[in-house]
Structure 1
Amino acid sequence: MDRIATVSRTTGETDITVTIDLDGSGSCDIQTGVGFFDHMLNALGRHSLCDLSVRAEGDTWVDDHHTVEDVGIVLGQAVAQALGDKRGIKRFSDATVPMDEALVLAAIDISGRGELYWDVPIEAQKVGNFDTELGHEFFAGFARDAGITLHVRKIAGQNAHHTLECAFKAVARALRAAVEFDPRNDGIPSTKGSL
């Protein structure tokens, strides 16, 4: 069973197409027009072992907000579509990732109830030209549209680049484990019988 999805979304602010293969090797082809964000999405794909293609054109002459948030929305929709009925997945996972002085925990429940719980304080407002608050906006859109309960918490970190990269890598590692098939259970991993 292929767990691959392509989703496109066009608004007055962005034009985005995302393709994801949940059972890939971490191959990435990312072009959003936002350099630091491309770097983060590349980390997300490579460390989740999901093949990821993202093409985004947005109103970056305003700022990067619409592009980053809308890529989160479309990526979430693609993950939800690729998961199908979620039969046989592990569902729950967590990962703690270090990067130099930074340490971030991510925990995932592929619950069907999309919500982000973000506790990642970052003092710096920018990494290069990238607004650090956009990390929250990306993951909020992603979690909501993927139907994933997602907790992300900073345990340590002073460097904004390291902290954000840890967050993307921690979510990637948790996602990788949560979408994997459970060899002991090929049914829906819920007492309700559906997710």
Structure 2
Amino acid sequence: MGFLLPHFEAVLGTGRADETFLGSTAALSAEKVPRDVVASDRRKEGVVVALGSAALHLKGEENYDKIDGTIDMLLSALETPSEDVQSSVAMCLSKLMKKGRTQDRLGDILDGLMKECLHGEKLATRRGAAYGLSAAVKGSGIASLKKHEVVRRLEEACSSGATESKEGALFAIELLSDRLGLLF
């Protein structure tokens, strides 16, 4: 896991394959690596799934820092302007929300996601934060809606505020409804 994390971070950051990782055939393989946006999104999506899946199997207190680091990487990947990547991140996040020290950080995670969802500058950022918000609530339990006043804050954003805040709140309501179903 420690060997792969720097490579995963590079792919999540740039969306490009690390050509030094390809080994001695880098010159031949680098020509075959697609460099368009769709290929970049697919690489990021693959890294997100691999990273989330690997973190699911970490156990014990000695791995709490790795789990926290993985969750932070996944949260930063929500800014990727691709709904496929954001959806994959949300799927992985919801499964990781009860691992490690995540429950201790839940308030900060939800506050950060709520801020991005309601006040993010770009549409993709607001949508990604809404995906993350719905995943965090599903993974941590329905009680987190009330404990962290998620619904009240979304209602306030819908009734007053800028159009971007209203749009972000509606994204969050849509994705919470989709992810939680009848519970929401």
Indicate whether the TM-score tops 0.5. Answer: no
Q: Which has the higher contact order (CA 8 A, sep 6+)?
A: 1
Task: Report the TM-score, using the length of structure 2 for normalisation.
Answer: 0.31
TM-score (norm 1): 0.29
Larger-gyration structure (1/2): 2
